[in-house]
Amino acid sequence: MSIYKRGGIWWYNFWFEGRHVQRPTKVKSRTQALKMQAIHKAQLALGKYGLGNKKEIPRFAEFADRYLEYSKANKPAYVVERYLIPQSLAPFFGKFRLNEITPLVFEKYKQKRLANGLKKSSINRELGLLKSMLSSAVKWQLLDSNSARDGKLFKLDEPPCTRVLSYEEEEKLLAACDDPELQLRAPHLKSVIMVAIYTGQRRGEILRLQWEAVDFNNFVLIVRKSKTKAGQGREVPLNSLLRELLLKRREEIPGKWVFPSPQNPAEHVGDVKNSFKRAVKIANLRRITFHQLRHTFCSRLSDSGVSLAVIQELAGHASILVTRRYLHPDNELKIKAVEKILRAEKTALPTTKSTTPDPRLTRERNPRRLQSIVRNRVNRIDVRRANLATATEAG
């Protein structure tokens, strides 16, 4: 159907020059909706043949620079987007005008990145950013519609990773950070990892941490920005070990950033992905990502008996359903739970025997029942004697 009704108003929906056009009319009359659709088609046709005011659609490479300025000023995710856009998206989409990024081009990018050995989840992350960028272009009236919106992401069949760092692995990982190579390349890595394990903060929150957000008097870290739309910031308490670490670092590190960039102290550290991978390799640990340190924080709180509501607040989750995904009881607790079931089984009646008692055993073992049986038998004997005496007298 070219038009349809949704939410009480009419929408029109058609394709033009390989672009999918879909708009709400904000009217409740079907006739008016058809007229609005016809006008939109006419305007597009006039633009195609140069008879109307044709909008100059920028190329992706030009638009990317403008978008990154917006991201730097407004989005906490800028720390990731400033790498993904120039290194991943721009080399492929840079030559295309924004209206030329159709679902077919979208699909070609997916297949190329997959052939390069990239994981499906990583490709989805890149394409999700592309869709967000084009939606911004529509809001800024640089583009009539976001045709990439109809592009399909990969369906992820692999289960989510539930990897949690053990205390022994934590010691090995922190010891690996003292390696001379890592001390030269990333002297901040050890402190960053400790903040992640002991506060559960996201990587971007940690790297953007400023000294004014560390309240040493009240033992808290103040997270002013949250990843989620519902997030209004939060306070995360500091344990004694982390407080001492940050106090010592405050004496050594000038400026406003807790983790300034070694190359440019006026900026914070951009990322720790490569140095973290190197530390994991030096420690000879099974693969673990930086975000799984946040899993470790939440799981350890749960194992210690902390309620879901408290964990949700500390982690800054908008929903307690999100918090539940982070809780992975360690193997020792699972073994204890199974052991409790085993102990309970030892004291229970064997399930192979009947649970209904034998009536004969019950009569023998129940004194009251036995007395009742004796009284009944005595009464029957007395009745028989009385009947016999009566018959003798009558004879």
pLDDT digits (tens, 9 = 90+) for 54-79: 568 899 999 999 999 999 888 878 87
Query: Predicted confidence band at 175 (pLDDT cuts at 50, 70, 90)?
Result: very high
**Residue ranges of the chain that CATH labels 1.10.150.130:** 60-150
What is the per-residue pLDDT for 315? 83
Q: Is the pLDDT of residue 360 over 60?
A: no
Q: Is the pLDDT of residue 303 over 90?
A: no
Cβ-contact 13, 1 below 8 angstroms: yes
Q: How far apart are CA 291 and CA 296, in angstroms?
A: 9
Transcribe 206-231 into DSSP letters. Answer: HHT-BGGGEETTTTEEEE---SSTT-
Second CATH level (architecture) for the domain 167-332: Orthogonal Bundle (1.10)
- Tracing tokens 């800028």 back to the chain, one arrives at 78
H helices within the chain, ranges in order?
A: 30-48, 60-74, 78-84, 90-93, 103-115, 120-139, 167-176, 180-185, 189-199, 203-207, 240-252, 273-282, 292-303, 308-315, 320-325, 331-347, 359-365, 367-394
Q: Say which range, 124-133, 283-292, 312-321, has the weakest mean pLDDT.
A: 312-321
Q: Which of 2-11, 146-155, 210-219 has the highest mean pLDDT?
A: 210-219
**Residues recorded for the chain:** 395
Q: Which residues touch 277 (CB under 8 Å, ≥6 apart)?
A: none
Express as a percent the part of the chain with pLDDT over 90: 32
What is the per-residue pLDDT for 51? 43
Average pLDDT over residues 123-133: 93
Query: Predicted confidence band at 282 (pLDDT cuts at 50, 70, 90)?
Result: very high
Query: Predicted confidence band at 345 (pLDDT cuts at 50, 70, 90)?
Result: very low
Query: Predicted confidence band at 305 (pLDDT cuts at 50, 70, 90)?
Result: confident
Q: Is the pLDDT of residue 356 over 90?
A: no
**Residue ranges of the chain that CATH labels 1.10.443.10:** 167-332
Which residue type sits at 261? S
Q: Is the pLDDT of residue 326 over 60?
A: yes
Q: Say which range, 99-108, 189-198, 266-275, 343-352, has the weakest mean pLDDT.
A: 343-352
Q: Say which range, 86-100, 175-189, 215-229, 230-244, has the weakest mean pLDDT.
A: 215-229
Q: How far apart are CA 251 and CA 254, in angstroms?
A: 8
H helices within 85-225, ranges in order?
A: 90-93, 103-115, 120-139, 167-176, 180-185, 189-199, 203-207
What is the per-residue pLDDT for 50? 47
What is the per-residue pLDDT for 96? 93
Distances (CA, A) of 84 to 87, 97, 114, 237: 5, 19, 16, 33
Q: What is the mean pLDDT of the chain?
A: 81
CATH of 60-150, one of 3.40.50.300, 3.30.70.1150, 1.10.150.130, 3.10.180.10: 1.10.150.130
Query: Predicted confidence band at 340 (pLDDT cuts at 50, 70, 90)?
Result: low
Express as a percent the part of the chain with pLDDT over 70: 79
Q: What is the pTM of this model?
A: 0.57
Cβ-contact 168, 276 below 8 angstroms: no
Average pLDDT over residues 243-247: 92
Q: Is the pLDDT of residue 275 over 80?
A: yes
Q: Is the pLDDT of residue 20 over 50?
A: yes
Q: Is the pLDDT of residue 185 over 70?
A: yes
Tokens of residue 184, six digits: 């030269």
Greater confidence (14 vs 228) lies with: 14
Give the relative orientation of helices 189-199 and 273-282 as an angle to the nearest 10 degrees. 90
Q: How far apart are CA 341 and CA 345, in angstroms?
A: 6
Greater confidence (302 vs 369) lies with: 302
